[in-house]
Structure 1
């Protein structure tokens, strides 16, 4: 009869590899999105008559979105790797707020270029995929 080590084979890893990969992809894409959106706001302010108060609002919202993305990705990665629900749930809440800011840049900013629409739509799709996976992973952690 073979000796069985206690605990061997009974350890279950709950962290999600696809979610972790999506966090990395989203972080890289957001860096591109931030740079492209900043440059497009600068372009629109020079080429079109862009009201100053709307320009400041768009820049502040873009900066706020950047801060939220950093916090969202950090908490999501930490929650997934440590298999804890609270940081992952906070990341999910930040994902919802960041998605709303993406909708602003997709529909509600003063001047929306075609490239704004494409970049924001891709970002919304990534946020939707992450939110879905985060809900599944949180449910698995709780169970």
Structure 2
């Protein structure tokens, strides 16, 4: 190696992960907007039990708070090649998965 030249370091970032994070953000926007419209329709036309509509609506807002943070940390960890943000992003994926499973299987009117 010649003096003054930097040693090449392998690139650890993942292009497929970054593509999934990017399009996942757009999917999240679309999913959330459709969900809000559907909830407004269901809340005005269907007979929800006491407290169930409010709980499901709050879950949707909680999902909106967690998901952008998860995507940001995943993107940051991927671009900077740091495991901390990626691990925290994976940790935040647990409540997101729980919300999505709830909306697919356990909500009052699917």
Partner of residue 63, structure 2: 65
C-alpha distance in structure 1 between counterparts of 2:95 and 2:51, whole Å: 22
Q: CA deviation at 1:96?
A: 2.0
Partner of residue 30, structure 1: 28
User: How many residues were matched structurally?
Assistant: 110
Where in structure 2 are the equivalents of 1:44-63 lying within 5 Å? 44-63=42-61
Partner of residue 137, structure 1: none
C-alpha distance in structure 2 between counterparts of 1:77 and 1:40, whole Å: 30
TM-score (norm 1): 0.72
Q: CA deviation at 1:7?
A: 2.5
**Greater fraction of residues in helix:** 1
Say which SS state the counterpart of residue 51 (structure 2) adopts: helix
TM-score (norm 2): 0.92
C-alpha distance in structure 1 between counterparts of 2:100 and 2:42, whole Å: 18
Partner of residue 124, structure 1: none
Where in structure 2 are the equivalents of 1:7-22 lying within 5 Å? 7-8=6-7, 10-22=8-20
Q: What is the Cα-based RMSD across aligned positions, in Å?
A: 1.7
Q: CA deviation at 1:95?
A: 1.3
Q: Name structure 2 gaps, 5 residues minimum.
A: none
Partner of residue 40, structure 1: 38
Q: Stretches of 4+ moved more than 6 A in 1?
A: none
